Structure 1
């Protein structure tokens, strides 16, 4: 795995960028809360003013209608002429009350009650402002020059036509005072709410600030070089999943865990690669050194080694080097995930052929084959590569156990979905310390398990190839060992559980 983590700050950022970001967030939140409160207060104030205005206007309209009715009743009781407005002298008429008489739709007399309780005749311009009002009882708003805005109505019908009006100054004054009071209250409330919001938001953002500080600390660690110590983590108090900041802290800790595990895996991979390259170089250097040495003997005309023997040794070492290179190439192809050439293979026949070949190569061992099958079992596999898996396991048992060891190969099918190949021997067993790495490349047993050295001992790639090929077939390989019993088991899916579509050759 190639994991490259670059450290350092991006251009245009600074260590204080996180603090600026938090301050900007706080400012935006306070502004948002303030604007929201302003909008709410404005809507409430406007609603209050409108409702109050409607109520006050309704009350004023009722008083205007009452005044018009009283005026009409007063005229009916009086004996004056068509321009008589003497009813305005009656008690109870408030200052500013306006009254007028009609004749053929025109105002022929109009007076207003002054502050001292007397009547003043309206001017022509003032009477003109009252023109066009029909005596149907509807309410009108008119601005009378010199007197202000009035709410007026005219009554006719069976009575004496009369117009009456009351000033709107009191209503407007109440509304203006209400607006001022609400504005002051809203201002005080907004200032208080803004201060409280700032304090609350600052307190709520403190965990986010600590999370950001942890992220900045991790970002300063040079992850692309050297050994990386344990990275900082977000404190437990800032990882409460019930809060937004806590969720960020939890996710950041998960990210840091993933980075640490990836770095650790990278180190392990690099270490395995270095060890692999060192082992491969050593394995290749040994036959090359032998070939070079025998070539020098041949060129120097050594009498201790005949040319025929030298050629034999050169051929043997060349074959060993070719086999090693082919094994390495096979493992490299398997690592790349190249597909196998899959066909339906009779598992029992394939294992039997491998056991016969092993019996010929290791006649000093006792070989047993047990087929525990109810019928033919087929697997979708590359026959050549699957034969190589069984052959490598048998060769491992032959090479690493003494003469006379009994090797038993069992083929069984526990259920219809899988089949198992077991290779058992009653040899000395595998050292416990070697079991965890038995399928790693260039792993070799110590003297208690190894019978021979050098060429016969192999290169330590046989079990690694067997494991890689088994995984490529969708199966798994396991091992258990103790003195007197070592068993390798290969589990494969049967033909009904794996696709049989042909694929390119590995």
Structure 2
């Protein structure tokens, strides 16, 4: 069932529910009104019947010796249609007449008299149907041996009640019709935003989210996201869900692209040394004199070492991605950076290496010393490989609050702005724009990715800023708990050259 059909079904159910509710309310009000009005009219009629009985009883007591006389009916003031009778000691009818309109009273027939038999003379009111005359409210009274039965017709009361019922039905029907039309208009108008929300959800469900590039998904219009209404709340929630889905799809696409690029670069990096190893092995198997066995073995060993290093780097990144725990020891970052600078000086003597220490507290962090050394060594190697001879590389260690800050700065040509956003991604190379030292082959493009992964595993943060003549990597790590105090390295003062 489509969303529109569901909305139509919902609208129909609402209209039916409201219609039934209104019908029940109208019926209850009409019945209550009729009941109250009928009770009032019957009470009024009973009062009149009682007054007529008392008057008739008074007229009958004037001539107690005339037990069957209805002479009092000849008096003026009796309403037309009034029925009167005299009763014997056992309650039987002695005589019974009905008052006519502008005419003498008329005696009741035997069948009419039969309807009046058995009425007790206790003054209570009864409803009796007399053939040919209609329905009457009748009472019988007894005073001092004089017994009189009097009744008044209920035709006027019944006619008024029937008219009231007809009016109630007409008014209720008209009210239901008007209320139904108003409710239909209101419900349609209130559900219209929900229909647009449903249409948006249908359009999003039809989008090919499982394949292809992520395209901008449609949103619920801003006018249908008013938090003051239920439909607006649904629209706003749907927009938030679409935003989340779109961002998740974009992230998935970026992840897939990075994975494809990673597999492509890894395959290329592994294929190059494998091709070299296979080529030299083939030459050695042929026993050709064009290449010396010692040189071939050296090249095979070098390419094997290169491939082993690449595989080790990939394994390290995989372990870090899995969140495997590292060793946790207290590491002195000042001593670690100093050792790394000395190692870099030995590997690249044609650069100007400097170490600066200015510590407000001991530069002690908790982590894996070998991995942290790898971070600093990779940063220094990156500066050495991608800057020309004579470049100054400065390593600075500082403590700032609860953070240890390590900066590696060089005055080389800088990193191209287009490369900065991806400099810490895997297999990212700056060979195109940064001059290599001595024509050395570049690395695999995993060095800075390993730096970022190890830093994140230690709860730290790394960033880079670069412009011509100044490139600076800033590494921040949380300090271990230690005594406060300001320390300066006497052997390596700030700005000292190593």
Query: Common fold, TM-score beyond 0.5?
Result: yes
Bigger Cα displacement from structure 2, 320-329 vs 30-39: 30-39
Structure 1 counterpart of 2:276: 290
Task: Provide the C-alpha distance between the structure 1 equivalents of 2:432 and 2:438, rounded to a whole number of angstroms.
Answer: 9
Task: Provide the C-alpha distance between the structure 2 equivalents of 1:337 and 1:326, rounded to a whole number of angstroms.
Answer: 17
Distance 1:420 1:142, change over 3 A: farther
Distance 1:190 1:454, change over 3 A: farther
Task: Provide the C-alpha distance between the structure 1 equivalents of 2:365 and 2:96, rounded to a whole number of angstroms.
Answer: 118
Task: Provide the C-alpha distance between the structure 2 equivalents of 1:343 and 1:109, rounded to a whole number of angstroms.
Answer: 126
Secondary structure of residue in 1 paired with 2:171: helix
Cα deviation digits, residues 23-71 of structure 1 (max 9, x gap) = 3233223322322221222122112111211211221122122222222
Task: Provide the C-alpha distance between the structure 1 equivalents of 2:150 and 2:331, rounded to a whole number of angstroms.
Answer: 114
Secondary structure of residue in 2 paired with 1:113: strand
Task: Provide the C-alpha distance between the structure 1 equivalents of 2:138 and 2:481, rounded to a whole number of angstroms.
Answer: 99
Q: Is the 8 A contact 2:431 2:442 kept in 1?
A: no
Bigger Cα displacement from structure 2, 336-345 vs 479-488: 336-345
Structure 1 portions without partners, runs of 5+:
1-12, 498-506
Cα deviation digits, residues 183-226 of structure 1 (max 9, x gap) = 23322333344344444444544444444444434444433334
Deviation at 1:323? 0.9
Task: Provide the C-alpha distance between the structure 1 equivalents of 2:58 and 2:449, rounded to a whole number of angstroms.
Answer: 120
Distance 1:322 1:142, change over 3 A: same
Q: Among residues 44, 64, 74, which one is paired with 1:89 in the alignment?
A: 74
Structure 2 counterpart of 1:397: 383
Task: Provide the C-alpha distance between the structure 1 equivalents of 2:117 and 2:364, rounded to a whole number of angstroms.
Answer: 111
Deviation at 1:153? 3.8
Deviation at 1:330? 1.8
Distance 1:59 1:223, change over 3 A: same
Task: Provide the C-alpha distance between the structure 1 equivalents of 2:171 and 2:86, rounded to a whole number of angstroms.
Answer: 47
Secondary structure of residue in 1 paired with 2:168: helix
Task: Provide the C-alpha distance between the structure 2 equivalents of 1:402 and 1:308, rounded to a whole number of angstroms.
Answer: 32
1:483 aligns with 2:457: no
Task: Provide the C-alpha distance between the structure 1 equivalents of 2:203 and 2:76, rounded to a whole number of angstroms.
Answer: 88
Task: Provide the C-alpha distance between the structure 2 equivalents of 1:454 and 1:246, rounded to a whole number of angstroms.
Answer: 65
Deviation at 1:251? 3.9
Secondary structure of residue in 1 paired with 2:150: strand
Bigger Cα displacement from structure 2, 239-248 vs 393-402: 239-248
Distance 1:158 1:379, change over 3 A: farther
Q: Among residues 156, 180, 189, which one is paired with 1:194 in the alignment?
A: 180
Task: Provide the C-alpha distance between the structure 2 equivalents of 1:360 and 1:30, rounded to a whole number of angstroms.
Answer: 87
Structure 2 counterpart of 1:460: 445
Structure 2 counterpart of 1:357: 343
Structure 1 counterpart of 2:43: 58
1:49 aligns with 2:34: yes
Q: Within 5 Å, which residues of 2 pair with 1:215-294?
A: 215-227=201-213, 229-294=215-280
1:172 aligns with 2:145: no
Secondary structure of residue in 2 paired with 1:410: strand
Structure 2 counterpart of 1:181: 167
Secondary structure of residue in 1 paired with 2:430: coil
Bigger Cα displacement from structure 2, 22-31 vs 476-485: 22-31
1:21 aligns with 2:6: yes
| TM-score in terms of structure 1 length | 0.82
Cα deviation digits, residues 405-451 of structure 1 (max 9, x gap) = 333333323213x3322222233322222211111111111355342
Distance 1:84 1:411, change over 3 A: farther
Distance 1:150 1:372, change over 3 A: farther
Distance 1:338 1:93, change over 3 A: farther
Secondary structure of residue in 1 paired with 2:41: helix
1:120 aligns with 2:100: no
Structure 2 counterpart of 1:472: 457
Q: Among residues 31, 48, 63, which one is paired with 2:16 in the alignment?
A: 31
Deviation at 1:167? 3.0
Secondary structure of residue in 2 paired with 1:118: strand
Deviation at 1:375? 3.2
Task: Provide the C-alpha distance between the structure 1 equivalents of 2:267 and 2:336, rounded to a whole number of angstroms.
Answer: 35
Task: Provide the C-alpha distance between the structure 2 equivalents of 1:129 and 1:372, rounded to a whole number of angstroms.
Answer: 125
Task: Provide the C-alpha distance between the structure 1 equivalents of 2:372 and 2:127, rounded to a whole number of angstroms.
Answer: 104
Bigger Cα displacement from structure 2, 259-268 vs 156-165: 156-165
Secondary structure of residue in 1 paired with 2:317: helix
Bigger Cα displacement from structure 2, 221-230 vs 29-38: 221-230
Task: Provide the C-alpha distance between the structure 1 equivalents of 2:126 and 2:187, rounded to a whole number of angstroms.
Answer: 53
Q: Is the 8 A contact 2:193 2:224 kept in 1?
A: yes
Task: Provide the C-alpha distance between the structure 2 equivalents of 1:368 and 1:56, rounded to a whole number of angstroms.
Answer: 114
Structure 2 counterpart of 1:300: 286
Task: Provide the C-alpha distance between the structure 1 equivalents of 2:169 and 2:257, rounded to a whole number of angstroms.
Answer: 74
Deviation at 1:139? 3.9
| CA RMSD after TM alignment | 3.3
Bigger Cα displacement from structure 2, 251-260 vs 153-162: 153-162
Distance 1:70 1:351, change over 3 A: farther
Structure 1 counterpart of 2:494: none
